[in-house]
Amino acid sequence: DGNTRMSEVEIEKVGATALISIDNPPVNAAGQSVRQGLWDAVDAAENDPGVDVIAIYAKGRTFIAGADIREFGKPPLEPFLPDVCDRIERCGKPVVAVIHGTPLGGGLEVALAAKARVALEGTRVGLPEVNIGVIPGAGGTQRVPRLTGWDFACGMITTGRQVPAEEALSAGLVDRIGEGSPRDAALAAAEWTRDGTLTPRDTGGIELDPAPEIIDAWRERVERKHGPLNAPRRALDAVEKAVLPIGEGVREERAIFKDCMDDPQRAGLIHAFFAERAVSKIPEAGAEPRAVASCGVVGGGAMGSGIATSMLLAGFPVTLTERDDDGLNRARRAVSGNLDGAVKRGKLTADGRAEALGRLTLSTETAALADADLIVEAAFEDLDVKRGIFSALDSVAKPGAVLATNTSYLDIAEIAGATSRPADVLGLHFFAPAHVMRLLEVAVADATAPEAVATGFALAKRMGKVAVRAGAGTTGGFIGNRVLSHYRKAAEYMALDGAAPARIDAALEDWGFAMGPFRAMDLSGLDIAWANRRRLASTRPPEERLVGLADRLCANGDFGRKTGRGYYLHGGEGRGPNPDVARFLEEERAERGIAPREFSAGEIQDRYLAAMISEAARVVEEGVALRPIDVDAVFVHGYGFPRWRGGPLHTADVVGAPELVARIERYAADDSHYWRVPPLLREMADGGGGFRDLN
């Protein structure tokens, strides 16, 4: 409405300077009222005979961080951002932009339409549109190459990376670095415009020589790096138009932007964007996290070393304990190897690596953990072992220390029961490799204190991870592994019924999964699941269909990559499918009288997803996950689910509940124990609506 509209953009006159300020917390997104406000303010300042220079800046933590993503997918509202930018560029008086924080996307585009730009120190500019499935749609693809040249522009726009102020200055995106508050810098910028320190010019008026060879080189890179993603490719189609007069180029850009808007990848990527933020909205959000100045880790295997690495990278001093010196030596090698990897990936400098290693203390004494504020146990996955460790921690840890277990299946309450302080105990379930994977499941037992939960989330934030709250359900596996153990069976059933594991993997990788299930099992090792199966054999319902393939491989000593053989061969004998697999499957089919049949890639994908969605729905139904969007975040960040498809339950909404129910009922004709329609999905199919309504 009219009242709120003007208050988001204000004009203040200081002498002959019109200061236009934007105030739309939290990130000054350019929603309809900001766009209208900018338009009106530029009009007013241009028409005011007492004004000779116009300076735009923003209040709060950042200059405009982009278009308002919440408006995407709804009917667009005038004035459109490209028109606002055009209005700024055509203003008869010099308009300068003072930027701070993260002027991203449409925010940077507004600044590029000004006649000059001043960035405060610490500013990071960028065009991250490709990350949410669109391209810059307000002149970014046309004005950036005019200022920086083709190569820099292609890199910035296809990767969406943030460019620090100094680099933006040398690349020509900004003209000067300013100081003080955004308002002070805006006043200074107006003075510089008058005294000639800043030279106003029309970005749109700059002419570029075509350089198709540079664009083609980027096309190849994009094809290699971003495979199925459409937006980076489409962004180059737009950049190429920067040889046209600005008005025509912006029109071409707008058409491509609209195509991207209608692409389902856009909806999936924006869902993933909001999922990352939604997961921190937990019942414990109001609780005060406990202060964590130092961390401890029990166990220096691959998992414990990865967790310790992650803590070191977040800046904590870390004490790691192991049973003996051999264990400690292995842990030290693993952590320094991990840090080497971080240096190679450009996440850490050589000095940073040395400094991080300097913060690592190794000990064989549990007492060394007495000062740690938060301790993660990452020992062998066995209840008695873990209870023993927690009882020992109970006697040395300081009061109020958060005691976490990295268990993937065990009951948190039973582990906590070994201590006198179950309120301080929770699950922090990391994903291998722990210093790389972004997911952290925070598993909460009934007795866990809200402050301990809040501390887990605060730790994740410092480590740059996406924390998802999991209620400690009784069936085990929290969110991710619970769903995984279910849909993995669907893959095994298809293998038994006629689809070769390598073919199943290929079909799922084509769909977008980072890795098919058999390749993934080879990577993580078949032995642990084998031990689990034997442990749980007596609890298995008699109606459950069994696939003996994995047992046969394990009985053969083939545990996957670690032994060189699993579903595939790894090294020595070559790299294709393990020939034993086909033989084992034939033997098993013969024993059980199964006639193998054909599976199309589409059927493989449909069955796998229906299985995943079914169990995911149950996890939501039972309250193990707070919302469907939490499950989606788990799969995108921990299980190689393609980000551009949003997650399993976003996919469920795309496919539609009625269709999913029909599929599951069809599959149930063969196996009614495994294929059951979750009541929640049935309700959606009958009553309309989808998982989106529960987010």
The catalytic site residues sit at 109, 129
Pick from 19, 22, 27, 246 the residue near ligand 3H9 by CB under 6 A: 27
Distance CA 642, CA 364 (A): 42
Applying CB under 6 A, the span of 100-108, 150-158, 400-408, 563-571 interacting with ligand 3H9 comes to 100-108
Residue 629 touches ligand 3H9, criterion: CB under 6 A = no
CB of 138 or CB of 187, closer to ligand 3H9: 138
Contact 619, 630 (CB under 8 A): no
Partners of 441 in the beta sheet? 429, 468
Please list the alpha-helical segments (H only) found in 80-136. 81-89, 106-113
Contact 628, 691 (CB under 8 A): yes
Pick from 70, 535, 592, 666 the residue near ligand 3H9 by CB under 6 A: 70
Distance CA 281, CA 469 (A): 9
Residue 240 DSSP symbol: G
CB of 81 or CB of 308, closer to ligand 3H9: 81
Pick from 22, 34, 38, 67 the residue near ligand 3H9 by CB under 6 A: 67
For residue 250, the minimal CB distance to ligand 3H9 (Å) is 10
Distance CA 96, CA 627 (A): 45
Burial of 150 (C-beta count, 10 Å sphere; 0-12/13-18/19+): buried
Residue 29 touches ligand 3H9, criterion: CB under 6 A = yes
Contact 234, 132 (CB under 8 A): no
CB of 28 or CB of 614, closer to ligand 3H9: 28
Contact 81, 75 (CB under 8 A): no
CB under 8 Å, gap of 24 or more: what pairs does 682-690 form? 684/657, 685/657, 685/658, 685/660, 685/661, 689/657, 690/652, 690/653, 690/656, 690/657
Residue 253 touches ligand 3H9, criterion: CB under 6 A = no
CA 72 from chain centre, in angstroms, equals: 20
Residue 277 touches ligand 3H9, criterion: CB under 6 A = yes
Residue 270 touches ligand 3H9, criterion: CB under 6 A = no
Pick from 17, 24, 33, 102 the residue near ligand 3H9 by CB under 6 A: 102
Pick from 94, 133, 137, 480 the residue near ligand 3H9 by CB under 6 A: 137
Bridging pattern class, strands 360-363 and 374-377: unpaired
For residue 412, the minimal CB distance to ligand 3H9 (Å) is 28
Pick from 37, 128, 145, 296 the residue near ligand 3H9 by CB under 6 A: 128
- Residue found under tokens 């850490």: 348
For residue 182, the minimal CB distance to ligand 3H9 (Å) is 16
Strand ranges (E), 196-309:
295-298
For residue 30, the minimal CB distance to ligand 3H9 (Å) is 7
Residue 497 touches ligand 3H9, criterion: CB under 6 A = no
Pick from 94, 105, 145, 289 the residue near ligand 3H9 by CB under 6 A: 105
Residue 249 touches ligand 3H9, criterion: CB under 6 A = no
Applying CB under 6 A, the span of 68-76, 192-200, 242-250, 524-532 interacting with ligand 3H9 comes to 68-76
Pick from 120, 138, 356, 479 the residue near ligand 3H9 by CB under 6 A: 138
Residue 460 touches ligand 3H9, criterion: CB under 6 A = no
Residue 238 touches ligand 3H9, criterion: CB under 6 A = no
Please list the alpha-helical segments (H only) found in 263-301. 264-278
Pick from 19, 20, 132, 303 the residue near ligand 3H9 by CB under 6 A: 132
For residue 608, the minimal CB distance to ligand 3H9 (Å) is 31
Amino acid type, 360: L
For residue 58, the minimal CB distance to ligand 3H9 (Å) is 12
Size of interface with ligand 3H9, in residues (CB under 6 A): 24
Applying CB under 6 A, the span of 34-42, 101-109, 335-343, 348-356 interacting with ligand 3H9 comes to 101-109
Distant-in-sequence, close-in-space partners of 442: CB < 8 Å, separation ≥ 6: 426, 427, 428, 429, 453, 456, 457, 460, 467, 468, 469, 470
For residue 71, the minimal CB distance to ligand 3H9 (Å) is 8
Distant-in-sequence, close-in-space partners of 33: CB < 8 Å, separation ≥ 6: 4, 5, 8, 9, 24
**Exposure string for 224-236, b = 16+ CB within 10 A, e = fewer:** eebeebbbbbbbb
Pick from 6, 16, 44, 69 the residue near ligand 3H9 by CB under 6 A: 69
Distance CA 587, CA 547 (A): 12
Pick from 1, 2, 3, 26 the residue near ligand 3H9 by CB under 6 A: 26
Residue 81 touches ligand 3H9, criterion: CB under 6 A = yes
Distance CA 389, CA 403 (A): 11
Residue 109 touches ligand 3H9, criterion: CB under 6 A = yes
Applying CB under 6 A, the span of 64-72, 175-183, 333-341, 667-675 interacting with ligand 3H9 comes to 64-72
CB of 76 or CB of 228, closer to ligand 3H9: 76
Residue 86 touches ligand 3H9, criterion: CB under 6 A = no
- Residue found under tokens 């098919």: 516
SS3 10: strand
Here's the x/- map for ligand 3H9, 139-158, by CB under 6 A: it reads as -x------------------
Amino acid type, 466: V
CB of 272 or CB of 320, closer to ligand 3H9: 272
Tokens of 666: 């069809």
Pick from 8, 86, 89, 129 the residue near ligand 3H9 by CB under 6 A: 129
Residue 106 touches ligand 3H9, criterion: CB under 6 A = yes
Residue 113 touches ligand 3H9, criterion: CB under 6 A = no
Pick from 84, 104, 198, 269 the residue near ligand 3H9 by CB under 6 A: 104
Residue 99 touches ligand 3H9, criterion: CB under 6 A = no
CB of 167 or CB of 394, closer to ligand 3H9: 167
Residue 272 touches ligand 3H9, criterion: CB under 6 A = no
For residue 115, the minimal CB distance to ligand 3H9 (Å) is 20
Tell me whether the omega of the peptide bond preceding residue 433 falls within 30 degrees of 0, making it cis.
yes
Residue 54 touches ligand 3H9, criterion: CB under 6 A = no
Contact 554, 602 (CB under 8 A): no
Contact 310, 297 (CB under 8 A): no
Residue-by-residue DSSP string for 21-63: EE--TTTT-B-HHHHHHHHHHHHHHHH-TT--EEEEEE-TT-S
For residue 106, the minimal CB distance to ligand 3H9 (Å) is 3
Distance CA 424, CA 471 (A): 16
Contact 553, 570 (CB under 8 A): no
Residue 636 touches ligand 3H9, criterion: CB under 6 A = no
Pick from 45, 51, 66, 311 the residue near ligand 3H9 by CB under 6 A: 66
Contact residues for ligand 3H9, defined by CB under 6 A: 26-27, 29, 65-70, 81, 102, 104-106, 109, 128-129, 132, 134, 136-138, 140, 277
